Chain A
Amino acid sequence: MENKLKNCQELLRFITCGSVDDGKSTLIGRLLLDSRSVLADQWAAIEATSTRRGQSQVDLSLLTDGLQAEREQGITIDVAYRYFSTPARRFIIADTPGHAQYTRNMVTGASTADLAILLLDARKGVVEQTRRHAQIVRLLGIRKVVIAVNKMDLVAYGQEAFERVKQEFLNFAEPLDFRDIVFIPLSALNGDGVVLHGGHMPWYTGPTLLELLETVVLDEEILNSSFRFPIQLVTRLSEENGEERRGAQGRVESGTVAVGDEVLLLPSGRTSRVSAIETYAGRISQARAGQSITLVLADQIDMSRGDMIASVAHPPRTDKNFEALVCWFSHTPYDPERRLLVQQTTRCIQGKIDTVSARLDIQTSQLVPSPAQVAMNDLVHMGFKVQQPLAFDRYEDNRTTGSFILIDALTHDTVAAGMIV
């Protein structure tokens, strides 16, 4: 227990995904249980529920399936977030639903993850939802993927079954071009391969799932990429030398910034210098990705929410037109008559879809040109035109400035999410 007090700084955010009933929630339950992150009252509650239902073993999925409807139906409907830490790292887990109807909730969980655990049932291998989730994981730019071949207990912990499923996945995933895939055989139900090796799979010599999660190399990409600072609010600061000063409040989304840096204000295209970086605690000389600060520019140029302050040397693109891969969430198919709002960084403006050039076929991973309609869960390539210029990067280069959501102007629903290409 003592080492829990130690300040472990590193954070890994990961999701579990894969088809319905492949064992995602059970796996999270097992991971929490075997890493001693389940408290006595939480255990008592799920034990009581399991007993009441006449289950012979405590149902570990009850640790995350927190909604009544989930417990009744034995499926996950929406993402559950769980927090735990080991002496090595802090973790935020998002347990996502496998059911196709709730794909948008899986996407919600995946959008902030650094790593994805994609589960496969050792008996069933790759099924439709496995393909869909793999595609989404790829589109969302999650670079690190663990393929957990689960329910090994149901195939007598056999190596052939594992190898067969592994090969099947590799064949399917080849065109997806994942950079970093690891395969682990496990039994979420019994615990083999999750935190402990267990004694059933001597042929498997790789790391357990937890060992992997604790050691996978995290990238510092957002620190090293170009400086981006979307303005959330503009505030009045105290006067200095009789001059009124205004500050741009926001969060450094990527890169770093220092007093004296020359910066670009977009979309106006004017340049200025950073004259101060203010925080509640006082002035600082530089700030890094992730930090919420107030930036003061040397010139009194007009700026407002939705503008972006960026690196002069490596500016983002500024344009009214762009192309994106879009995941359609709404139950209602895309209808050109409905007014849409595009929300990207801190800017929310009217926009319209100019072209729907292709749809991704989940089975074949191929783009099919000119789809007849865009319906729920479709992944499509679209061209956009917006009312005012946006400052953006390709999603591949910058997850924050390259992403956006589409809001129905009438209903206010979030109908889609897009990644700029």
Chain B
Amino acid sequence: MKGESGSMKSTQAATFTPLTSSGGGAWAPWDHLDRLESEAIHILREVVAQCVRPVLLFSGGKDSMVLLHLARKAFHPQRIPFPLMHVDTGHNFPEVITFRDQVVKSLGVNLIVRSVEESIRQGRARVRFESDSRNALQAVTLVDAIHEFGFDACLGGARRDEEKARAKERIFSFRDEFGGWDPKNQRPELWDLYNAHVHPGENMRVFPISNWTEADVWEYIARERLDLPSLYFAHRREVVARGDQWIPVTPLTQPKVGEHVEERWVRFRTVGDMTCTCPVPSEARTLEDILRETVTSTLTERGATRTDDQTSEASMELRKKQGYF
């Protein structure tokens, strides 16, 4: 995270200008980002107050960076009172893993890594080909890790604007012992009263930035000057055109016969499994450029970048029922 004391403080002070200075009871400096931030902090504190062993799922992506930053704010001046965990598919872009480790080191937080690779080795998760997407398999590794450590709450950076099934999910989302989500029988969630009671083996998935949109996330990153992995910004990369998408050329995603490799200016809107995450054409090199592109984009984040969610309208829901985040 950049601007640890200097820049971050000055941005913040401007946001919380006291009543007297703006005069006449006008609380103008309170904007939508302040509201969203405050709501997320409230949720994070509820998790720590109500749950015994929470964990924050951290991938190094933009949403989890925002979540991590919010956690620092929520518990300041104390350290973040829970570990981070990354379920590593083994198919991550190397820039992201390097970035993840830098962040963890600079903050001195505890990161647990559990790998899908290991689950496959143990025969707990099965694949047909090495290059199959491992997104769906993450659920196995995640649920195993939840049981291994006895976590009763997993904090995640999912947002309701990402996908239709997510738009249906509670902020505190109950999961049974198998990690499964039962969308037809969710706990009522009224006002800001969160019922986090679980029995041993069950857990809550908690989404403090449920009400944020992709644009909110970028605006917040710009405001708070958060660092991100380099592949979120425009860079030259070898890609091949396939259908409507640009597939990045990686050890796992090789050009097919007849496909033509070209180098183009691209950036990623999400970072995930290399086999199913595509960049978008872009020359946006600064946060401000990205923000401008985000609000004028004609495609959703997932629609533009994920190949695995396109197989059916229900892919996300199916995976969630099986324990996926």
Contacts and interface: CB of A to CB of B under 8 A. Distances in A.
A66 B167 contact: yes
B168 A67 contact: yes
Contact of A285 (B20, B72, B168): B20
A159 B320 CA distance: 47
B121 interface: no
Given A1-B295, A107-B188, A405-B193, A81 B42 contact: no
A281 B9 contact: yes
B183 interface: yes
B195 A412 contact: yes
A44 to B, nearest CB: 8
Contacts of A104: 188
B298 to A, nearest CB: 5
B224 to A, nearest CB: 10
Interface residues of A, number: 78
A417 B190 contact: yes
Contacts of A9: 30-32
Contact of A111 (B72, B164, B183, B191): B191
Nearest to B302: A41
A369 B295 CA distance: 55
A407 interface: yes
Interface of A: 1, 4-5, 7-9, 11, 39-42, 45, 49, 63-69, 71, 77-83, 90, 92, 104-105, 107-108, 111-112, 223, 232-233, 235-238, 249-251, 256, 258, 278-282, 284-286, 288, 290-292, 294, 305, 329, 341, 343-344, 346, 348, 399-400, 403-405, 407, 412-414, 417
A251 B42 contact: yes
Interface stretch (B59-67, B74-82, B111-119, B246-254): B74-82
Interface in B163-213: 163-168, 170, 183-184, 186-193, 195, 197-199, 210-211, 213
A5 B295 contact: yes
B183 A39 contact: no
Contact of B190 (A69, A90, A285, A405): A405
Nearest to A102: B184
B317 A67 contact: yes
B91 interface: no
Contacts, number: 194
A250 B189 CA distance: 20
A59 to B, nearest CB: 12
Nearest to B297: A39
Contacts of A403: 190-191, 193
Given A233-B48, A281-B9, A108 B190 contact: yes
Closest A-B pairs by Cβ, 6 of them: A41-B303, A66-B164, A281-B12, A412-B197, A292-B41, A280-B73
Contact of B300 (A41, A68, A77, A78): A41
A407 B46 CA distance: 16
Contacts of A258: 19
Contacts of A90: 32
B145 to A, nearest CB: 23
Contacts of B193: 343-344, 403-405
Interface string B10-42: 001101101110000001001110110110011
Nearest to B31: A9
Interface residues of B, number: 71
A74 to B, nearest CB: 14
A42 B188 contact: no
B137 interface: no
Which of A41, A90, A280, A344 has the most B CB atoms < 10 Å from its CB?
Answer: A280
Nearest to A288: B27
Contact of A107 (B38, B190, B199, B318): B190
30 contacts: A11-B32, A11-B35, A39-B300, A41-B299, A49-B313, A67-B168, A78-B184, A80-B168, A81-B211, A90-B32, A107-B190, A108-B189, A232-B49, A235-B75, A250-B45, A279-B76, A280-B72, A280-B76, A281-B13, A285-B18, A291-B16, A291-B38, A294-B76, A403-B190, A405-B193, A405-B195, A412-B197, A412-B199, A414-B195, A417-B190
A78 B188 CA distance: 10
Contacts of B189: 108, 414
Contacts of A405: 188, 190, 193, 195
A45, A81, A82, A112, most chain B CB atoms within 10 A: A81
Nearest to A279: B16
Contact of A238 (B48, B77, B303): B77
Contact of A292 (B20, B31, B38): B38
Contacts of A346: 46, 49
Contacts of B32: 7-9, 11, 90
B161 interface: yes
A346 B47 CA distance: 12
B241 interface: no
Nearest to A412: B197
Contacts of B300: 39, 41-42
Contacts of B163: 66
A63 B167 CA distance: 10
Given A79-B168, A279-B16, A71 B48 contact: no
Contacts of B127: none
B100 interface: no
Contacts of A305: 49
Nearest to A44: B303
Contact of A71 (B35, B38, B292, B313): B313
Given A83-B161, A232-B46, A250-B45, A108 B298 contact: no
A5 B292 contact: yes
Nearest to B8: A281
B35 A1 contact: no
Contacts of B184: 67, 69, 77-78
B269 interface: no
A238 B78 CA distance: 10
B93 to A, nearest CB: 23
A292 B188 CA distance: 24
Contacts of A399: 191
B106 interface: no
A40 B302 CA distance: 12
A236 B79 CA distance: 11
B134 interface: no
B122 interface: no
B167 A286 contact: no
Interface string B89-108: 00000000000000000000
